[in-house]
Amino acid sequence: MKAAAVIVAAGRGTRAGGVLPKQWRSLHGRSLVAWCLQSFRDHPGIETCILVLHADDMGMAPGYEAHGDVAVVAGGASRDASVLAGLQALEGSGMDHVLIHDAARPLVSAAVIGRVLAALKGGSAAAPGLPVIDALWRVGNGSVSATLDRAGLYRAQTPQGFALEAILAAHRAHPGGAADDVEVARAAGIDVAIVEGEERNLKITTAADFDRAEEFLRGEMDIRTGNGFDVHRFGPGDHVVLCGLKLPHASGLEGHSDADVGMHALTDAIYGALAEGDIGRHFPPSDPEWKDAASSIFLEHAVGRVADRGFRISNADVTLICEAPKIAPHAHDMAEELAALMGIGTDRVSVKATTSERLGFTGRKEGIAAMATVTLVQS
């Protein structure tokens, strides 16, 4: 099964308040659109995403289309028209299933996406929902006029998943005005299975919903810690490169790249926090392209992966272990260099040194070792 996601973000969202349409407002430091895209792009069952924007917002398209798995199309005057535009963008793409999701639901989880995809393997359509557990009243003129039976009633959520050809044909045939894509599908005679939704998959409609969503995110903050360790032996040369600074020395450090042992340890700590291996996985030492390469290339790649995964660097601590050269006079400049490469304040970067009390290879001045610790937090 080859599945795509259509994320509808073409509304104006005026009931949520604020100057910007709600899909562009910040939730825990990121827009609702960014939260949605991350959820679907990170899911292994989704191969491509179609982001449907309001015509007035198409100036933002290049930034999203820079991702190879994201395409942007302009929506229409109604939700139905916007969904149809997204579905038509998938024609000829090789996708056979599609999940249609509202950008107003920024906290959709991988589990919900997975349940919809799993249901599609054995059926033509599926959507998440939650059973209604509260009593239901009919109200007229400010008073309760009746109590309704809640048996069999569910609260609808997205993403709603379908066979692509079937839902595209259904939308083309529908007169418009549907509450959601399940209504469109049912009008075309498509049977829609229900899978379990989640309370956190709430729809942002009013300003209070932003507060609820913030509470969910604060309660599930993802904090990662990684450690890195590296060693390089001394060899011929008249300088060493440590944490991005070139320091005069009686020997150089041997390595495939510039042998910046401090930056290597720091980069490995970041990869470790992301559970993405080490420098060797991303930049194999057997590849001649990285011969004598500046280690800033490796660190900048790791920092980019932090942002791509939805994290930010909270702080970094680097310890250089050597008898010489003296690190203390340069520690502040090293911290500034690393902070600039990581895009964080110098007050969040520590560079310090210690000796091994003349024990071991560092004590015998045969090389330099470094260890680093990094903390990442969900951005």
Hey, is 290 helix, strand or coil? helix
Domains of the chain, earliest start first: 3-219 (3.90.550.10), 223-378 (3.30.1330.50)
Q: Which pLDDT value is given to residue 217?
A: 82
User: Out of 19-33, 65-79, 120-134, which region has the weakest mean confidence (pLDDT)?
Assistant: 19-33
Residue 173 pLDDT > 70: yes
Q: Which pLDDT value is given to residue 32?
A: 94
Residue 16 pLDDT > 70: no
Q: Which two tokens stand for residue 263?
A: 């930056």
For 214-266, how does the pLDDT look when each residue is reduced to its tens digit (9 = 90+)? 888 876 678 999 999 999 999 999 999 999 999 999 999 999 899 999 999 99
Q: 263: Cβ–Cβ under 8 A, 6 or more apart, which residues?
A: 242, 243, 244, 295, 296, 298, 299, 338
Per-residue confidence band for 18, with pLDDT thresholds at 50, 70 and 90: low
Q: Which two tokens stand for residue 153?
A: 């009633």
Mean pLDDT of 159-188: 97
Q: Which two tokens stand for residue 250?
A: 């009686």
For residues 8 and 354, give the distance between their C-alpha atoms in angstroms, rounded to a whole number. Answer: 55
Mean pLDDT of 97-122: 96
Q: Which pLDDT value is given to residue 292?
A: 87
Which of 135, 130, 128 is closest to 195 using CA atoms?
128
For residues 134 and 229, give the distance between their C-alpha atoms in angstroms, rounded to a whole number. Answer: 56
Q: Are 133 and 39 in contact (CB under 8 A)?
A: no
Q: Which pLDDT value is given to residue 216?
A: 87
For residues 330 and 194, give the distance between their C-alpha atoms in angstroms, rounded to a whole number. Answer: 62
Q: Which pLDDT value is given to residue 234?
A: 96
Mean pLDDT of 181-193: 97
Task: Show the DSSP H helices in 121-204 as ranges.
Answer: 164-173, 181-187
Q: Are 124 and 190 in contact (CB under 8 A)?
A: yes
DSSP codes joined into one string, 131-152:
E--S-EEEEETTEEEEEE--TT
Which of 56, 62, 67, 71 is closest to 24 using CA atoms?
56
For residues 51 and 149, give the distance between their C-alpha atoms in angstroms, rounded to a whole number. Answer: 38
Per-residue confidence band for 17, with pLDDT thresholds at 50, 70 and 90: low
CA dihedral sign, ordered 89, 93, 95, 96: positive
**Phi, psi dihedrals of residue 331, rounded to the nearest 5°:** -60, -40
Q: Which pLDDT value is given to residue 30?
A: 87
For residue 78, CA distances in Å to 13, 15, 33, 161, 178 come to: 12, 16, 18, 20, 10
For 320-340, how does the pLDDT look when each residue is reduced to its tens digit (9 = 90+)? 999 999 999 999 999 999 999
For 34-62, how does the pLDDT look when each residue is reduced to its tens digit (9 = 90+)? 999 999 999 999 999 999 999 999 998 99
Mean pLDDT of 102-114: 96
Q: Is the pTM of this model over 0.95?
A: no
Q: Which two tokens stand for residue 353?
A: 């040194």
DSSP 72: E
Q: What is the mean pLDDT of the chain?
A: 94
Per-residue confidence band for 176, with pLDDT thresholds at 50, 70 and 90: very high
